[in-house]
Structure 1
Amino acid sequence: MLDRLQYVKQRFDEISDLIIQPDVIADQKRYVQLNQEYKTLKGLVDKREEYIRLTQNIAEANEIIADGSDAEMVEMAKMELDDAKERLPELEEEIKFMLIPKDPEDAKNVMVEVRAGTGGDEASIFAGDLYRMYTKYCESKGWRTSVVDMNEGTAGGFKEIIFEVTGEDVYGTLKFEAGVHRVQRVPQTETQGRVHTSAATVMVLPEAEEFDVQIDMNDVRIDYFCSSGPGGQSVNTTKSAVRMTHIPTGLVAQCQDEKSQHKNKDKALTVLRSRLYELELAKKQAEDATKRTSQVSSGDRSAKIRTYNYAQGRITDHRIGLSIFDLDGFMNGNIQKMIDELQLVANTEKLKESEVF
């Protein structure tokens, strides 16, 4: 393990020198990539130092115990040895997981799209519930959310809502939320008290930088139209809303959240770039899937991944068979436990495949 960690330390020192070089700072793409790698390796370097310190403590404690000339020192050495031996296996496991090659997209910000599926008005209300759940979770993480576009449901919630999330390691945290979410409950509009099943689809797109996806604006048709929905006097009076169509792929992105046409245009372009990036990413994931079958998929948007059962107060993730009986807390953004379990399963699968050890 120390040999592997020594390589990490050498690479960390190399990057520490590179990121202060003027030519690297001038190359935005390379500078961003090196900074992301620096942050990843910094955690491993810290663990390496703890590992070295721990193994040295064990060796010193064994020497004192073997010498046996000072009873008080021997007693202290035994206590230190017990603590170090208890910590060492935990530390080794932490290092193993940290040595798993990271997905380069994990550090990216995301565009989240929540769309009502089957279930009519109830599906729109559920889509609104999911949006509230995610925004509360993002708030607890210190991430910023910003609505890009929305289409409100007739009885509440949203037929569709797209929002941007910016923060640290956002895609790596939220990517397993992509898929079909199903709810089982008695709708507010139901007079007979019958349980209905509705669904909403969640898409999590890594936000692409300009250097990730080059868009030829000659391939993009731009339409301007009046905003709809809440917005005061400017609604239906100024053509501030923007719709972009990428002609070669047929992908469409629009934004009407801002009063400024220029800001809406920038946001729509960001969404379009992210969708094009996700298209390429999906191809890569499909190629990877032929090599291995992952239990926790982050790419199949048609897969039913989770059920929210209100009668039983239960949320079940079908990919890992985990049920959590705290539906109120979960819908209020307390979803970290589920995310941790999904990441653990995914990392365990990667660990089995990797040649790290």
Structure 2
Amino acid sequence: MDIQPLIEKMLSRKSHVENELAEVAATNNISKMTELSKEHSRIVQLETSWNRLQDCHSQIADNKEMLQNEDDADFCAEIQADVDKLTAEIDPLELSLRMLVLPPEENDSRNTIVEIRPAAGGDEAALFADELYRMYSVYAGNNGWKEEVLEHNESDIGGLKNVQFCLQGDDVYRFMQYESGVHRVQRIPTTETSGRIHTSTVTVAVLPEATEVELDIKTEDLDIKVTRASGPGGQSVNTTDSAVVITHIPSGITVQCQNEKSQHKNKAQAMRVLRSRLLEKKQKEEHEKYAAERKSQIGTGDRSERIRTYNFPQNRITDHRFNLSWFNLPGMLEGNIQTMLDDILTETSRQRLEEEIENIGSD
């Protein structure tokens, strides 16, 4: 894939961005200055990597020409060692360039709300939902992300009825966005006496957290109810009306929160989830409109589609969207999923690059 046109297009913006930065500095527009500073930093990094890549190719060509005309064995060995060293730089430089030419996606730096719910499979689905939650929680901790539990309801057997949690940190949504969808598990449950493999499913929703200023939610569009919070088996966990259920009437979206003892805190948490759901709906509608025009919708993470299978008998995780598989399933459920997420990002970046190159060709 030839990304040189993308590189040249981005480098051509350097002087323009520098001029804009100078103009914005005089207006004290912090938001615009931050945006331009990030773009300028990407351009400078791109320029450095591009120049180094060209320099490596040039030196390799010169050294190979010297090898053809050199008879001294020791000197040839030195030249070849230099060629090997330069060649080792090329793949990392090309990977860096592929990442830098892609414009950041609008949600990459957002905090993220994750919802996990058991679907088909009864108790086994509830147990696997808890395992997925632990996997993401450990991974988040290993990355230095902050986790805030918004809603956590256990099932009667110790699994999960549902969990909602917010992750805050660098590139949270960038890494987590492709976890959204139906996760299927195939294994022999501990309660299965005949050794039969069961199939269960869990849904995961990954929502970029919206801010209050992004969405105009009118009070008259909300139906807010308060009830007593309930625990496993339906028993009441407190004697006050603290659980909050909010329905956004125009969209029909309903959210619930009962994790806190305070009704006000539960309402605030529920509004965070509602804003994120409305932002997801808005962005999905915009994306679908764009996809219809471009006929290139990829990796939407729609919860109606099965995205991944966790096959315990074969010790394998398979992502059906990208036809990728990884082994050591128990280790990955312990939070060691960075390789998997990196592989998925590499594939989605390749697809985005193809689209960007196509866009240049049609300009």
Q: TM-score, normalised by structure 2?
A: 0.82
1:323 corresponds to which of 325, 328, 346: 325
CA contact (8 A) 1:19 1:35 kept: no
CA contact (8 A) 1:36 1:107 kept: no
Q: 1:91 to 1:238 in 2, by over 3 A?
A: same
Match of 2:29 in 1: 24
1:158 corresponds to which of 157, 160, 164: 160
Trace 1:271-290 onto structure 2 (pairs within 5 A): 271-290=273-292
Match of 2:123 in 1: 121
- What is the rounded CA distance, in whole Å, between the counterparts of 1:238 and 1:18 in structure 2? 57
Match of 1:49 in 2: 48
Q: 1:13 to 1:327 in 2, by over 3 A?
A: same
Q: CA deviation at 1:343?
A: 1.2
CA contact (8 A) 2:11 2:43 kept: no
- What is the rounded CA distance, in whole Å, between the counterparts of 2:325 and 2:268 in structure 1? 41
Opposite residue 47 of structure 2, the aligned amino acid is R
2:137 corresponds to which of 135, 148, 164: 135
Match of 2:105 in 1: 103
Match of 1:7 in 2: 12
Opposite residue 51 of structure 2, the aligned amino acid is I
Report the identity percentage.
39
Structure 2 spans left out of the alignment, 5+ residues? 67-71
Q: CA deviation at 1:36?
A: 5.6
Q: 1:134 to 1:37 in 2, by over 3 A?
A: farther
- What is the rounded CA distance, in whole Å, between the counterparts of 2:80 and 2:194 in structure 1? 69
CA contact (8 A) 2:228 2:238 kept: yes
Count of aligned residue pairs for this structure pair: 344
Alignment deviations for residues 183-232 of structure 1 (CA, whole Å, 9 cap, x no partner): 111112223222111100111111111222111122112222222239xx
- What is the rounded CA distance, in whole Å, between the counterparts of 1:15 and 1:165 in structure 2? 34
| Stretch deviating more after TM superposition (207-216 or 96-105) | 96-105
Opposite residue 14 of structure 2, the aligned amino acid is K
| Stretch deviating more after TM superposition (301-310 or 74-83) | 74-83
Q: CA deviation at 1:255?
A: 1.6
Q: 1:266 to 1:35 in 2, by over 3 A?
A: farther
> Is the counterpart of residue 146 in structure 1 residue 158 in structure 2?
no
Match of 2:176 in 1: 174
2:265 corresponds to which of 263, 266, 270: 263
Q: CA deviation at 1:303?
A: 0.6
Q: 1:63 to 1:152 in 2, by over 3 A?
A: closer
Q: CA deviation at 1:176?
A: 0.8
Q: CA deviation at 1:42?
A: 2.2
Structure 1 spans left out of the alignment, 5+ residues? 26-30
CA contact (8 A) 1:243 1:255 kept: yes
- What is the rounded CA distance, in whole Å, between the counterparts of 1:320 and 1:59 in structure 2? 36
Q: 1:163 to 1:63 in 2, by over 3 A?
A: closer
Q: CA deviation at 1:293?
A: 3.7
Q: CA deviation at 1:78?
A: 8.3
CA contact (8 A) 2:182 2:201 kept: yes
- What is the rounded CA distance, in whole Å, between the counterparts of 2:183 and 2:60 in structure 1? 54
Q: 1:236 to 1:80 in 2, by over 3 A?
A: same
- What is the rounded CA distance, in whole Å, between the counterparts of 2:82 and 2:91 in structure 1? 15
Q: CA deviation at 1:112?
A: 0.8
Q: 1:37 to 1:332 in 2, by over 3 A?
A: farther
Alignment deviations for residues 148-169 of structure 1 (CA, whole Å, 9 cap, x no partner): 1133212121122111111112
Opposite residue 223 of structure 1, the aligned amino acid is K
Q: CA deviation at 1:171?
A: 1.3
Q: TM-score, normalised by structure 1?
A: 0.83
